[in-house]
């Protein structure tokens, strides 16, 4: 039985903190051993590695541990984890595609923990938040490849890049769509093993890393106008579609429990009685039936509203109602298509095709206006590839389209 407790306590099947102790027998005490002493007995299982690993840079909604793999129940998420496990031993790039807030960082952490491509246990591992490079591509190259002294203004000393530090490990690029085209091409050489250079240096360096990328863009968007097609081919050897929370209903109780518990720490308050809302029937039913378009971010927002109301001494009904309202509307308040009764008033029509073209043209005009004339952004707003956007723009006869 002692061996069972040792294994449970050190493999991660019992969540921490866990401290194991043992008593000394008569011979041990006679030899000078303390009557009670701590036991260090480490087994490096994937679950223990997963729970002790943390991506280097994370968002507040996903710190790399929003799911507990040992407790997953839904078929969609179990399938995703099983597929990642199959790909874990291969040092090939993996692309995680999913809606915002679905826990892509957590799945990247899981993939690394299941793989041989990890060198530092219990510490932060290499992570790149690509959004920081959108306005400064030079920063991307300095962060990724490093620089020598004097490479640019402010480069006062030699600095190794993230790729060098990731040698023998996994490196995670969060929102890879924000990397500029020139940096993509430089990364391509590093991925292929052709090496890279620090800024201002001529020496070619190499790093043996496993690349994992994530994005909330669709594959069509990535291929159409965001990523260099050759770069896309390199990073998308395997693509995993990350399931949204609405496809993981069986896991929502555990997700809510985790989010609410962490919200008390990140918000810096722990009002008396917050625990009773973990399994509050009305609240859990509302979460289970909500589409949760923002996924974990919706749950996090609801948790903060709940804690604020509880701290302010609101009634239980007001606390629950406020948390449910914070999840957001169950349906979009805007209708993309008029109701059938409204359309009936417009019949008969002389030309249905012309009416549909006019309707579509209005959507394109609205998207271009909101995007300040940027076609790539307008296409993203409409959820279509840029080439499709431009083709339809010509087809519906937008008069001021320069390509029309």
Q: Quick one: which of 229, 227, 225, 228 has its CA closest to 377? A: 225
Contact 170, 90 (CB under 8 A): no
Within 13 A of 101's CA, how many CA atoms are on the CB side?
16
Whether the CB-CB separation of 81 and 110 falls below 8 Å is answered with yes
CA nearest 198: which of 246, 235, 157, 253? 157
pTM of the model: 0.72
Residues linked to residue 22 through DSSP beta bridges, in sequence order: 37
- Domain ranges, ordered by start, for the chain: 2-43, 48-243, 248-326, 342-395
Does residue 281 carry a pLDDT above 70? yes
pLDDT of residue 48: 58
342-395, CATH topology level:
Arc Repressor Mutant, subunit A (1.10.10)
Share the mean pLDDT of the chain. Answer: 83
pLDDT confidence bin for 246, thresholds 50/70/90: very high
Q: How many CA atoms lie within 13 A of 301 on its CB side?
A: 15
Quote the percentage of the chain above a pLDDT of 70.
78
Instruction: Give kind and range of the element (H or E) at residue 285.
Output: helix 281-289
DSSP secondary structure of 183-239: HHHHHHHHHTTS-B--BT----B----EEEEEESS-HHHIIIIIS-HHHHHHHTSEE
Chain-centroid distance, C-alpha 232: 19
Is the pLDDT at 396 greater than 80? The verdict is no
The C-alpha atoms of residue 192 and residue 27 are separated, in whole angstroms, by 61
The pLDDT, as a whole number, for residue 309 is 96
Q: How confident is the model at residue 403 (pLDDT cuts 50, 70, 90)?
A: very low
pLDDT tens digits for 40-94? Answer: 555 555 555 656 555 656 555 566 577 888 889 999 999 999 999 999 999 999 9
Q: What is the CA radius of gyration of the chain?
A: 26
User: Are 274 and 307 spatial neighbours (Cβ–Cβ below 8 Å)?
Assistant: yes
Segment 147-192, tens digit of pLDDT: 888 778 777 888 888 999 899 999 999 999 999 999 999 999 999 9
Q: In this structure, which topology does domain 248-326 adopt according to CATH?
A: Helicase, Ruva Protein; domain 3 (1.10.8)
In words, the CATH class of domain 48-243 is: alpha beta
**Is a pLDDT exceeding 90 seen at residue 254?**
yes
């Amino acid at each position: 039985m002692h061996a069972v407790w040792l294994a449970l306590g050190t493999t991660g099947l019992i969540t921490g903190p866990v401290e194991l102790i043992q008593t000394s027998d008569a011979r041990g005490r006679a030899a000078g051993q303390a009557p009670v002493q701590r036991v260090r007995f480490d087994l490096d299982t994937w679950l223990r590695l997963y729970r002790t690993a943390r991506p280097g840079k994370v968002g507040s909604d996903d710190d790399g541990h929003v799911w507990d793999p040992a407790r997953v129940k839904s078929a969609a998420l179990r399938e995703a984890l099983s597929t990642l496990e199959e790909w874990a031993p291969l040092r090939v790039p993996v692309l995680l595609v999913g809606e915002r807030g679905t826990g892509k960082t957590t799945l990247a952490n899981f993939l690394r923990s299941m793989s041989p491509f990890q060198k530092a246990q219990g510490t932060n591992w290499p992570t790149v938040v690509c959004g920081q490079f959108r306005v400064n591509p030079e920063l991307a190259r300095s962060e990724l490849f490093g620089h020598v002294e004097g490479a640019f203004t402010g480069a006062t000393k030699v600095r190794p890049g993230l790729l060098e530090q990731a040698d023998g490990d996994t490196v995670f690029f969060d929102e890879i769509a924000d990397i500029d085209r020139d940096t993509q091409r430089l990364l391509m050489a590093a991925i292929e093993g052709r090496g890279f250079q620090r800024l201002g240096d001529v020496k070619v360096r190499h790093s043996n890393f496993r690349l994992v990328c994530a994005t909330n863009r669709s594959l069509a968007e990535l291929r159409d106008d965001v990523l260099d097609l050759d770069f896309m081919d390199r990073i998308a050897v395997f693509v995993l579609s990350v399931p949204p929370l609405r496809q993981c209903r069986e896991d929502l109780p555990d997700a809510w429990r985790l989010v609410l518990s962490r919200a008390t720490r990140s918000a810096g308050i722990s009002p008396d009685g917050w625990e009773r809302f973990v399994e509050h029937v009305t609240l859990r039913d509302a979460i289970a039936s909500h589409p949760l378009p923002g996924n974990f971010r919706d749950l996090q927002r609801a948790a903060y509203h709940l804690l604020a109301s509880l701290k302010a001494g609101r009634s239980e009904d007001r606390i629950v109602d406020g948390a449910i309202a914070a999840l957001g509307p169950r349906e979009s308040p805007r209708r993309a298509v008029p109701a059938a009764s409204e359309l009936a008033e417009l019949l008969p029509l002389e030309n249905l095709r012309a009416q549909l073209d006019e309707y579509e043209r209005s959507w394109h005009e609205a998207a271009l206006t909101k995007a300040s004339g940027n076609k790539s952004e307008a296409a993203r707003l409409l959820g279509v590839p840029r080439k499709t956007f431009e083709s339809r723009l010509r087809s519906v006869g937008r008069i001021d389209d320069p390509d029309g």
